[in-house]
Structure 1
Amino acid sequence: MLEVRVKDTQKLTEVIIKSGYTKRSLARAINVSNSFISQITTGRKNPSPKVAKKLCDELHINFDDYFVIDNRGAENDKTERTCVIC
């Protein structure tokens, strides 16, 4: 499974502030919870592709500058399936 990850949580937090948002006001603007924005900006949670797109649109940023698509989850899923079959 592919995952969207934040490249640099500090950089994302800075662009939120420079764009005039608090984490709470940004959460309201893109219709997610304040705690979810906090978890994304601390690296504890990864945004869905849809939420990452909303963040980019709202903050007027380029996806590739702030996010990366990671397929490590797919490798882990494959390994787990292999172990179950063994």
Structure 2
Amino acid sequence: MKVAVKNFKFLESIIIKKGYSKTGLAEKAGIHHMTMWNVFNGKSNPSPSTALKICKALDVEFDDVFQIVDQEEVTTK
């Protein structure tokens, strides 16, 4: 099982509405900026703890942004 972003455009719109850049969000969430970039570019899936840090920083629910899928179901943007 993997954590995957449900909809990259939706996530990016939340980031913009909250007034963050991806780098700024990484700092707020306590995540390395390259980890954040890899998640948003679809190059890697976040760990559960990373996904929760992103949600907490954005003040959104996990299920609004992420989904748990079988590895074969992981989609790209």
TM-score (structure 2 length as normaliser): 0.83
Q: CA deviation at 1:65?
A: 1.5
SS of residue in 1 equivalent to 2:43: coil
* Deviating more after overlay: 27-36 vs 46-55: 27-36
The aligned residue for residue 63 of structure 1 is 62
Is the 1:5–1:47 contact (alpha carbons within 8 Å) kept by the matching residues of 2?
yes
After TM superposition, the structure 1 stretch with the greater mean CA deviation from structure 2, 50-59 or 36-45, is 36-45
Q: Alignment length, in residue pairs?
A: 72
Greater Cα radius of gyration, structure 1 or 2: 1
Quote the offset at 1:72 in angstroms: 2.5
SS at match of 2:3: strand
1:52 aligns with 2:54: no
**Residue type of the alignment partner of 1:22:** S
User: Which position in structure 1 is the counterpart of 2:75?
Assistant: none
Relative to total residues, which structure has the larger helix share, 1 or 2? 1
Runs of 4+ in 1 over 3 A off after TM superposition: none
Q: Percent same amino acid among aligned pairs?
A: 36
Gap runs ≥5 in structure 2: 73-77
Instruction: State the one-letter code of the partner of 1:71.
Output: D
Q: CA RMSD, aligned part only?
A: 1.3
User: Which residue number in structure 1 is paired with residue 71 of structure 2?
Assistant: 72
Aligned residue number for residue 40 of structure 2 = 41
The alpha-carbon deviation at position 14 of structure 1 amounts to: 1.1
- Under a length normalisation based on structure 1, what TM-score does the superposition of the two structures give? 0.75
